[in-house]
Structure 1
Amino acid sequence: MKRSMIAAMAVLLLPLVSMAQFTISGKVTQGNTALPGATIKIKNTFAGTNADANGNYQLSNLKPGNYTVTVSFIGYKAAEKMISLNADQSLDFTLTPSAFLADEVIVRATRATEKTATTYKNISKEQIEENNFGQDLPFILNNTPGVVVTSDAGAGVGYTGIRIRGSDASRVNVTINGIPYNDSESQGTFWVNMPDFASSVDNIQIQRGVGTSTNGAGAFGGSLNIQTSGTTDLPYAELNNTYGSFNTLKNTVKIGTGLINDKWSFDGRLSRVKSDGFIDRSASDLKSYFLSGSYHGKKDLLTVNVFAGSEKTYQAWNGIPEARLRGDVAGMQAYIDRNWLNEEDAAHLLNSGNRTYNSFTYKDQNDNYWQSHYQALYSRQFSDKFSFNGALHYTDGKGYFEEYKADAAFSKYGLPNAEINGEEKEETNLIRRRWLNNDFYGLTYAFNYQALTNLNFTLGGAYNQYRGKHYGQVIWAQYASTGSIDRHYYDGKGNKDDFNTYGKVSYTLDQLNLFADLQYRSVSYDITGTDKNLSTLNFDNQYNFFNPKFGATYILNNQSNIYGSFSVANKEPNRDDFTNLKAGLEAPKPERLNNIEAGYRFKNSKWNAGLNVYGMFYKDQLIFTGEINEYSDAYRQNVDKSYRMGIELDASYVINRQFALNANAALSRNKIKNYVDYVTEYNEDFDVLGKVATTYENPDISFSPAAVLFGELVYRPAKGFAAALQGKYVSKQYMDNTQNKSRMLDAYFVTNARLGYDLQLKGIKNVNVGLLVNNLFDKQYESNGYTYSSLMQGVTTTENFYFTQAGTNFLLSLNLKF
């Protein structure tokens, strides 16, 4: 009877026992010294916290079970302990200093911290790996505040682009280990030249707005500060493979020696990415490698990186005419007539798919480029107060794109007309290549001096040189005239010398942190020779910029702070602003930006949130006018005053052990005070009569959505398994600055789903199976486009072109770690 009563009570109490929740608490120290701010996490869950001012921590509401608790702190080796939890337990950690320099020493000159009055977002290696299915880096960053991405081929492989706060890639400063990556002349970034580079990235910091002083061209929308993978203690090997829609394939091999004799380490990666693309004939064949070797002294670190990429991408950069996109047969016929399409091209337009049309049909209409990077990075900790990091670098780039041109005039290639069987030919079908060979090299440096515990100085800078050669060849012609395959029908040069130096000071007074950041930048940019249109180039430009930044952060408590800053940035025009300069107009002016940022940050065991407001006020911003020249090159001209103002929210919330919510929102107003739109007027013989100008007051800046929203629900029901449902909304965007609804990209909302499962098998450290389903509900949308207009006999004709993105598609990955 007694036993029966005990058994009955046990059954009754079982639900209570199963609902029991326990606490892990303890202290994080180095010897007898507390380590406040240390990060404590439980692997494969959302549970985590930070040590308080005395090094104490507490993880509550934990169910019974086995856990792995990890602790990390900058400058110390990470530690982890296994624990079987069936009651409240105390678990202390004693960390030891790292055997080599911490990333904090290496990147502190150009990185923002919680005490910096800068709006920023850190992307960890774990987050990069979770989203790396072989798509280009912009798509991995798509879930961050104010970011809009696009893909020419429609599926995230090949030519892709990124905008931050509506600013295009030419206004987003990108550095790799502090070394500039933006192309010196176009000032854009071409991720297609570095396929699968994300597999070699340790972390990324995105600074929105002007940000801190960095190397390379000034940031007018944001900065991407990329740090490549660091050293691991133990040897490793990885095989990462992805296959998915449009025959997308990624194969990656990674190996590393770990730390040899506490001094040496070597790492390598070899990658291949291929995709047929969503758009017709938009295939990409991409290859890359990354090699790194490091020497770790007690107080210094020397790293040599060599990485390269090659790409062969079928061109899909013309977009889809609006009539073809809408399936408008009458509109397509009108497009054929006014653009004089030949019979073959007309039939191709009429018979292609609405959303996959590609105007190019020549079999070798490819873009081909090879780029190699060499970096020597050195850091030294002279004392507890004084440190240095610097780098030497060299980038070698070479490539061309090939085009078939029907009925091309000999005169446009500097050739006399051909005489064939007694008949003079003024035009010929031909195949041309346009080449770019360039060299980029220089040095960067930064000295950091911690004068007092509350006073820090940094002196840094860089000197870089760029030498670019632009030339064209006709490699085949139906009628050869006097040309040859080796002949250059144009030769142009771009030489750019870029010097900057900056000084930073940070001072903490009780709970108030003040900083000042003063940068001087000198740019010499010469453009000579002839351009692709055979025009003579002779531009000698010298710019001297002063870019001051001031800010303050006030620590409210251990969990929150507020900040505010004022920054100035200046930026030189790019190459096309000179080569496409309209006759009779003065040379383009440099742009100037005054940036105000203010925000609030909060962080505890469940919340990590930031709310900020900003104002970006431009003087002489270079804006596309909507006008094109006879070679279809778009013009940019300075507008006197324009601005971007907005509010951004970035937050994550741990609901419980199984669920977490991530969300961000960017709401903005982007305006030009007075904008002049130009339309070229023609007569019936297509002779230019002149330009018709229309002034618009306070129109929206093109490609600047008023709302960009993102939300993600993450579910971890069991150890090693995670699922995420993501939604992204981008409001309407205008393709020019007239705020005309007929030249607009519609708003879109796209849903993605991601699954991941980790398990261990004998002989394999970790097996990860991942699935990414993009555009889960098959939304038809366009993420990019362009427009231009012309006037004839009182009638304005507008040509709109769109870049469609793929419907529902998937990528399946299998990743093995040894």
Structure 2
Amino acid sequence: MKRYGLFLIALLIFPLVSVAQISGTVFDGSSNEPLPGANVIIQGTQTGTSTDTDGTFTINAQEGDILVVSFVGYRQQEVSAEQGMEIYLQPDEKALGEIVVSSRTIDIARERETPIAVTTITPREISQEVGNQEFPEIMNETPGAYATKEGGGYGDSRISLRGFSQRNTAFLINGQPVNDMENGWVYWSNWQGLTDVASGIQIQRGLGASNLAVPSVGGTVSIFTRTAENERGGSVSQMVGNDGYLKSTASYNTGLSENGWSASFLLSHWQGDGYINNTSGEGWTYFAAVGYEPNDSHSFNLSVLGAGQWHHQRSTYVSIRDYENFGDDGIDRRWNTNGGTLNGEEYNMERNFYNKPLATLNWDWEISENVTLASSLYGSAGRGGGTGPRGNYYFNSDLDLYPFGGNEDLTAHYLEDGDGVRNSDGTINFDRVVEINRSTTSGYTGSPDVYNGQLIGSNGYSDNNVNNAVLVRRASMNSHNWYGAISKLEAEVDKFTFSLGIDLRDYTGYHYRAMNDMLGLDGYFSTGNANSMGQIIEPDNTIDASPFNDTGLTGPKIDYYNIGFVDWQGVNGMVEYDTDQFSAVLQGGLSNQGYQREDFFAEPGNALSEEKNVLGGYVKGGANYNISDRHNVFANAGFISRQPLFDAVFPNFQNDINPDLQNEQITSVELGYGYSSYWLDVSLNLYSTVWGNRFIEDSFPNEGGTFGTAQFDDVDQRHNGIELETTTRPTENLTLEGMLSIGDWKYNNNFEATLFDDDRNQIGTATLYTDGVKVGDAAQFVGFIGADYQLGDLSVDAGYRHVDNLYADYDLTEGGGSYFTDPDNEGALKLPAYGLVDVGSTYRFDLFGQSASLRVNVNNLFDTTYIAESNTNIHASSGDETWNGIDKRNFVWYGFGRTWNVSLSYEF
């Protein structure tokens, strides 16, 4: 009887269960294989699930409910729920997971088709893992990538790819190049706002898939930002983090109107004290996009992105023993030699400030079913610079605060030699600097008479009671105007795709110095202009170190004032053959780069140089073969003739064109293998890149409290390596990731260096004996393992990254501990290996009927102390004081200790 009772109860319950649960399967529409890990959500609710290892799912829904089905790299579908349903998701090369690109001018690598090594980072990964870290650090889990915070100020980070610095890696935002057209650098403080608006990142290592006229060497990092979203809604978020970090963000999308218009807006504000002492900062991120789709053939998108900010820096090199001797006990990673107080508030001699809005107009025209034209117009007007010390203050031992030059650190300069007046904790009392400037300066006695009796300082001039033994803060400005156009015509004919494109750029860079803070003086006598007898700068003619105020472009200038003109005209073409099993591509490009320099201060009689035009180009090709639905192999090779950077055309900061000018030459070859299944993805790459005829410019600490510049010619190097990436899904809730990057990067020759002081006067030459020396500044062995576990609305993720074979950068100073000036040097200094653990957790929940989430990140969980990079190569000898085997006289940047952030987001 009991058995029948249970059976009756089951019969009564079964209809309720059948109505309340829907089962189905999600498939890959191209291969018909199941898709594990696909998201299935009831539209308008937070009720959802994920498919298991065989693509099946069960969800608490009723027949007729609308299910939203999505998966990384596939077009999202909305389907009506029914029992036993089968859903086929189609791959979407434009989506790349949640990534939505704004124009077809953007070149996207496609897995199992484009024959290159590529890693894609989704917006979910960006929003979760970046937190209050630097934007490049999100790429640290990519093979061949090595990002550090350098000095530790906001946005002062840098990244290298396959051992090549970011000067030699192409960075694109929505298809537009953003590397500085004169020096190739990328200033991440200008782009930190990308953490708010990025819809994805694709890191194309090696030759890359870009059609721009001259591609990259280390790789191409293509960053996609949001577009004018078609779905109406918005979000607000608040983040808090270590050291007073606060960030507030709000965004809104209007949705697509009946007549084809849409718009999106975002505004974000951040502020913080900085993990490093005396590196506070503040900034705004602003973004707006307007889209218009009048019909199925035309699509327009206008966007404006910017991130105005100011932040204090730690550019002064710090030795290991400085970290020990100043600040807290042991190694104080937060120590900053630059910092102090003025009028009771934080003050730093080095302050960066910049605002670089980027405006882009995209037009996609589908001329016919098989022919498209994609065009993009863009423009940017960057304004800002960085401050630093000025004046011959080292003539006054009380003002001699900065340990620049040779191998002198603050320990030798202040503790041993007794130079400079600092507080008991080693920080600078800038109120005392003001007192000394005023008390040691007498009233001006020269002409014009209007300045008589005023306290005037200078850097070199000392007549008429002008005091050149003073300390003031100048601003070195690097503003620019940049305009460009990209257009690509593409046609599909049977199994072939043909494209022809143009790439036009016009760049004007303004380089000058202005006075920022006279620190108690009434004026500054500038003698930097060789066309005049000097001029006195009044306090009313100084500039504020702020990104949104007057940056002095039309005001009085000191020390130097020159303009760099760079224009670019490029054409490129591609032919691609593609079948389900085999694809091949051949690309080529030709470009002309024009250079011209105008100098208003230092070149009397030769103010405007001749214009120099240099041709460059490339040819590259590759093929991919899909052995089966799971296995594929690919190969690529290429040759690049790349035009030199601006300073190689005009060496010695003069208007005379380099008579020995030559293009850099790069050859690269790569082999790859991939495996993809419902539970395991593997990619393996082997590469070899040879780079010759290089010109390098770098800075070094010089005597007199300033930074000098070194220029190197004919640098050759070879980079070989192996890269491995894996992703496995052992259960429907658990994803495991692994990465291994092994490099063998060496210089192939010795090279000459020409050294310049802060005023850009040549002060010497040096030969660096580097043949066979390991390339420094990037780890040649990196391993990573990570896990992500989903438990309903809660997810937990953790990762461990191990770094080894990291070598110091070359030291550029004569007598500064550089063993490279000695033919019998010991090679690059190998730094201690280190490992870091990061953890995070996300909880998603309903709030007022809408979606909300809480995210927590902890970086460097175990507070590991490690050297992220070294600027010197001082090898320890017997009896030398060392830290983990490294001579304590070395100037190094320690990585950050444990940091954290918590963010709350609400969508409506």
CA deviations on 1:634-657 (whole Å, 9 max, x unpaired) are 424234532101110111100102
Q: 1:437 to 1:691 in 2, by over 3 A?
A: closer
**Does residue 488 of structure 1 match 2:542?**
no
More divergent stretch after superposition (622-631 vs 559-568): 622-631
Match among 304, 307, 313 for residue 302 of structure 2 = 304
C-alpha distance in 2 between matches for 1:355 and 1:667:
29
**Displacement of 1:633:** 2.5
Is the partner of 2:127 in helix, strand or coil? helix
Q: How does 1:774-785 map to 2 (within 5 A)?
A: 774-785=859-870
Which amino acid is 2:156 matched to? Y
**Displacement of 1:283:** 1.3
Contact conserved, 2:76 with 2:89, CA < 8 A, in 1?
no
Q: 1:777 to 1:588 in 2, by over 3 A?
A: farther
More divergent stretch after superposition (391-400 vs 64-73): 64-73
**Does residue 767 of structure 1 match 2:852?**
yes
Task: Give the aligned partner of residue 807 of structure 1.
Answer: 897
C-alpha distance in 1 between matches for 2:561 and 2:905:
47
Which amino acid is 1:652 matched to? T
C-alpha distance in 2 between matches for 1:414 and 1:697:
40
C-alpha distance in 1 between matches for 2:33 and 2:478:
49
Which amino acid is 1:705 matched to? A
Q: 1:48 to 1:185 in 2, by over 3 A?
A: farther
Which structure has more strand as a fraction of its residues? 1
C-alpha distance in 1 between matches for 2:742 and 2:133:
27
Which amino acid is 2:869 matched to? N
Is the partner of 1:759 in helix, strand or coil? strand
Contact conserved, 1:39 with 1:73, CA < 8 A, in 2?
no
Q: How does 1:21-170 map to 2 (within 5 A)?
A: 24-25=24-25, 41-43=38-40, 47=51, 59-60=55-56, 70-71=69-70, 78-79=77-78, 89-92=84-87, 106-107=103-104, 110-114=107-111, 115-152=113-150, 154=152, 157-170=154-167
Match among 440, 449, 459 for residue 500 of structure 2 = 459
Contact conserved, 1:77 with 1:98, CA < 8 A, in 2?
no
Task: Give the aligned partner of residue 644 of structure 2.
Answer: 573
Task: Give the aligned partner of residue 613 of structure 1.
Answer: 686
Is the partner of 1:294 in helix, strand or coil? strand
C-alpha distance in 1 between matches for 2:578 and 2:681:
24
Is the partner of 1:320 in helix, strand or coil? coil
Give the TM-score taking structure 2 as reference length. Answer: 0.75
Match among 382, 394, 401 for residue 379 of structure 2 = 394
**Does residue 186 of structure 1 match 2:183?**
yes
Q: How does 1:365-380 map to 2 (within 5 A)?
A: 365=349, 366-380=351-365
Q: How does 1:198-217 map to 2 (within 5 A)?
A: 198-215=195-212
Q: 1:509 to 1:254 in 2, by over 3 A?
A: closer
Match among 727, 734, 737 for residue 652 of structure 1 = 727
**Displacement of 1:749:** 0.8
C-alpha distance in 1 between matches for 2:841 and 2:72:
30
C-alpha distance in 1 between matches for 2:900 and 2:91:
44
Q: How does 1:611-760 map to 2 (within 5 A)?
A: 611-623=684-696, 632-639=707-714, 641-676=716-751, 693=767, 695-717=769-791, 719-737=792-810, 738=820, 740=826, 743-760=829-846
**Displacement of 1:777:** 0.6
Which amino acid is 1:234 matched to? E
More divergent stretch after superposition (225-234 vs 622-631): 622-631
CA deviations on 1:382-439 (whole Å, 9 max, x unpaired) are 111000111111101111322233535999978632332xxx7453322212222210
CA deviations on 1:493-522 (whole Å, 9 max, x unpaired) are 110001111100001367321110001121
C-alpha distance in 1 between matches for 2:729 and 2:27:
23
More divergent stretch after superposition (501-510 vs 731-740): 731-740
CA deviations on 1:680-709 (whole Å, 9 max, x unpaired) are 9xxxxxxx9976646343110122322011
Contact conserved, 2:204 with 2:219, CA < 8 A, in 1?
yes
C-alpha distance in 1 between matches for 2:664 and 2:729:
43
**Displacement of 1:780:** 0.7
Q: 1:451 to 1:109 in 2, by over 3 A?
A: farther
Which amino acid is 1:399 matched to? G
C-alpha distance in 1 between matches for 2:177 and 2:85:
48
Q: 1:47 to 1:513 in 2, by over 3 A?
A: same
Match among 321, 326, 332 for residue 323 of structure 1 = 321
Which amino acid is 1:605 matched to? Y
Task: Give the aligned partner of residue 437 of structure 1.
Answer: 479
C-alpha distance in 1 between matches for 2:59 and 2:480:
61
C-alpha distance in 1 between matches for 2:765 and 2:94:
68
**Does residue 385 of structure 1 match 2:370?**
yes
Task: Give the aligned partner of residue 345 of structure 1.
Answer: none
C-alpha distance in 1 between matches for 2:684 and 2:504:
36
Q: 1:243 to 1:27 in 2, by over 3 A?
A: closer
CA deviations on 1:108-142 (whole Å, 9 max, x unpaired) are 76222121111111222222222242433212222
Match among 497, 500, 515 for residue 585 of structure 2 = 515
Identity %: 20
Task: Give the aligned partner of residue 416 of structure 1.
Answer: 461
Which amino acid is 2:707 matched to? S
**Does residue 174 of structure 1 match 2:215?**
no
Contact conserved, 1:626 with 1:788, CA < 8 A, in 2?
no
Is the partner of 1:733 in helix, strand or coil? coil
Is the partner of 1:133 in helix, strand or coil? coil
**Does residue 601 of structure 1 match 2:674?**
yes
**Displacement of 1:280:** 0.8
Q: 1:301 to 1:469 in 2, by over 3 A?
A: same
Contact conserved, 1:100 with 1:298, CA < 8 A, in 2?
no
Q: How many residues align?
A: 752
Is the partner of 1:107 in helix, strand or coil? coil
Contact conserved, 2:213 with 2:571, CA < 8 A, in 1?
no
Task: Give the aligned partner of residue 575 of structure 2.
Answer: 505
Task: Give the aligned partner of residue 556 of structure 1.
Answer: 627
Contact conserved, 1:269 with 1:289, CA < 8 A, in 2?
yes
Q: 1:526 to 1:48 in 2, by over 3 A?
A: farther
C-alpha distance in 1 between matches for 2:201 and 2:809:
32
C-alpha distance in 2 between matches for 1:108 and 1:117:
19
Task: Give the aligned partner of residue 281 of structure 2.
Answer: 284
Q: 1:654 to 1:494 in 2, by over 3 A?
A: same
Task: Give the aligned partner of residue 236 of structure 2.
Answer: 239
Match among 342, 355, 367 for residue 333 of structure 2 = 355
Q: 1:37 to 1:440 in 2, by over 3 A?
A: farther
Which amino acid is 1:417 matched to? S
Structure 2: unaligned runs, 5 residues or longer: 11-16, 41-47, 341-346, 396-455, 526-534, 542-555, 756-761, 811-819, 876-886
**Displacement of 1:480:** 3.8
C-alpha distance in 2 between matches for 1:558 and 1:394:
44
C-alpha distance in 2 between matches for 1:689 and 1:381:
59
Which amino acid is 2:158 matched to? G
Which amino acid is 1:110 matched to? D
Q: 1:23 to 1:709 in 2, by over 3 A?
A: farther
C-alpha distance in 1 between matches for 2:733 and 2:795:
9
C-alpha distance in 1 between matches for 2:105 and 2:473:
50
Q: 1:131 to 1:531 in 2, by over 3 A?
A: farther
C-alpha distance in 2 between matches for 1:495 and 1:78:
50
CA deviations on 1:727-756 (whole Å, 9 max, x unpaired) are 111213222355857844322211000100
Q: 1:201 to 1:767 in 2, by over 3 A?
A: same
**Displacement of 1:580:** 6.5
C-alpha distance in 2 between matches for 1:378 and 1:245:
43
**Displacement of 1:604:** 1.6
Task: Give the aligned partner of residue 275 of structure 1.
Answer: 272
Task: Give the aligned partner of residue 786 of structure 1.
Answer: 871
